[in-house]
Amino acid sequence: PERLGALEQPPPVLYLRGAILPEDSWAVAVVGTRRVTRYGRQVAEEIGAALARQGITVVSGLARGVDGIAHRAALQAGGRTIAVLGSGVDHIYPPEHRRLAEEIIPAGALLSDYPPGTPPDAANFPPRNRIIAGLALATVVVEAGETSGALITARFAAEQGREVFAVPGGIYAPQSKGPNRLIKNGAHPFLSVDDLLEVLNITQVEQYRQARLALPDDPVESKLLSLLRDEPLHVDELRAQADLPVAQVSAALTMMELKGLVRQVGAMHYVAVREAAAEYRTDEKST
């Protein structure tokens, strides 16, 4: 994913099971303590489901507690989710999340910068948090003690210039000490998904995602898409090869770009997005 290029130490290799799609560029990380309270569970479920309903991919770490709850809520709401592991993609930790991991694969991806065969190790988890933060437009900390790894993820997000949100909690609750401190230090208080969407200025993701799911049923769009399979083409080349009026080609390209089927790559050259997406669809692959 291009966004990881902004990391101070981007992973040289990534391994994945599943698929990373263009719409996963709209992603929010939801992280927190393994020792989640009833309040934290309710909030994590609500956030995961609400993001999914908006067409936003939920990124987390597959850990017990907040992570697993957010992944599961996103899946149950019909959304996409990406789990970043502190082990190889063939070593699921914790073991009780193996079924959850299998459910994630067709609706997102398991991702790791550790090669297959790498067992989970405590030293692996803090570094992987930079990838969780790096994949997301924003990070939401639901609950976290003062030494929680979720605060490391929040720090990575802030260092990368990403937005950090924290769920406020009781001043005497140990699991809310981390989020409350983040808010005191300048994080956005998370009160609803609407607040997050407003800050990120992404209010029409679901409409875009639904439009993109529809294959072109217009004959002009289908023809142009077939011509864009091999390499980017200038709009004049497309017009000539399609033997269509320039106004008709321009109008079709505008609609296809809205649907997410094509993108402009500079100087009026277009490329098919679905071909780019195929590069990231695999059962187990390094990239």
- Residue range 10-36, pLDDT digits in tens: 888 999 999 998 889 899 999 999 999
Cα–Cα distances (Å) from 205 to 25, 53, 187, in that order, read 10, 10, 24
- Give the pLDDT score at 217: 62
- Give the pLDDT score at 210: 55
Domain coverage including residue 277 = 215-286
What is the Cα–Cα distance from 62 to 93, expressed in whole angstroms? Answer: 8
Residue 276, pLDDT > 70, answer: no
Tell me: do 263 and 173 sit in the same domain. no
Tell me: do 180 and 276 sit in the same domain. no
Tell me: do 253 and 183 sit in the same domain. no
- Structure confidence by residue, pLDDT tens digits, 227-245: 886 567 889 989 999 999 8
Q: Please name the amino acid found at residue 202.
A: I
Q: How many domains does the chain have?
A: 2
Instruction: Give percent of the chain above pLDDT 90.
Output: 60
* Contact (CB, 8 A) for 58 and 49: no
Tell me: do 10 and 56 sit in the same domain. yes
Tell me: do 146 and 26 sit in the same domain. yes
| Segment among 4-8, 219-223, 271-275 with least mean pLDDT | 271-275
**Residue that is last in its domain, among 147, 180, 207:** 207
Count of H-run helices and E-run strands, the chain: 12, 12
Domain harbouring 251, CATH code: 1.10.10.10
- Structure confidence by residue, pLDDT tens digits, 89-140: 999 999 999 999 999 999 999 999 999 999 999 999 999 999 999 999 999 9
Tell me: do 163 and 229 sit in the same domain. no
| Segment among 54-68, 209-223, 252-266 with least mean pLDDT | 209-223
Kind plus residue range of the DSSP H or E element containing 193: helix 193-200
Tell me: do 108 and 236 sit in the same domain. no
Which letter, b or e, does each residue of 203-215 get, where b requires 16 or more Cβ atoms within 10 Å of its Cβ?
A: eebbebbeebeee
Question: Please, which pLDDT band fits residue 6 given cuts at 50, 70 and 90?
Answer: confident
* Contact (CB, 8 A) for 167 and 43: yes
156: left (phi over 0), alpha (psi -120 to 50) or beta: alpha
Residue 287, pLDDT > 50, answer: no
Domain harbouring 43, CATH code: 3.40.50.450
Tell me: do 168 and 261 sit in the same domain. no
Tell me: do 178 and 249 sit in the same domain. no
Helix, strand, or coil (residue 83): strand
- Give the pLDDT score at 206: 54
Alpha carbon dihedral 198, 138, 48, 37, in 10-degree steps, equals: -110
* Contact (CB, 8 A) for 66 and 142: yes
For CA atoms 53, 57, 63, 65, the dihedral sign is: negative
**Residue that is last in its domain, among 207, 242, 276:** 207
Highest averaged pLDDT of the listed ranges 28-32, 196-200, 246-250, 263-267: 28-32
- Give the pLDDT score at 117: 95
Tell me: do 148 and 122 sit in the same domain. yes
**Residue that is last in its domain, among 207, 225, 250:** 207
What is the Cα–Cα distance from 77 to 63, expressed in whole angstroms? Answer: 20
Question: Please, which pLDDT band fits residue 282 given cuts at 50, 70 and 90?
Answer: very low
Question: Please, which pLDDT band fits residue 212 given cuts at 50, 70 and 90?
Answer: low
Mean pLDDT over 172-176 rounds to 96
Mean pLDDT over 205-212 rounds to 55
Mean pLDDT of the chain: 87
What is the Cα–Cα distance from 271 to 269, expressed in whole angstroms? Answer: 7
Tell me: do 183 and 227 sit in the same domain. no
Cα–Cα distances (Å) from 27 to 47, 137, 225, 237, in that order, read 13, 6, 27, 35
105 C-beta neighbours (distance < 10 Å), count: 16
Tell me: do 199 and 226 sit in the same domain. no
Q: Which residue has the higher pLDDT, 99 or 215?
A: 99
What is the Cα–Cα distance from 48 to 78, expressed in whole angstroms? Answer: 11
- Give the pLDDT score at 269: 84
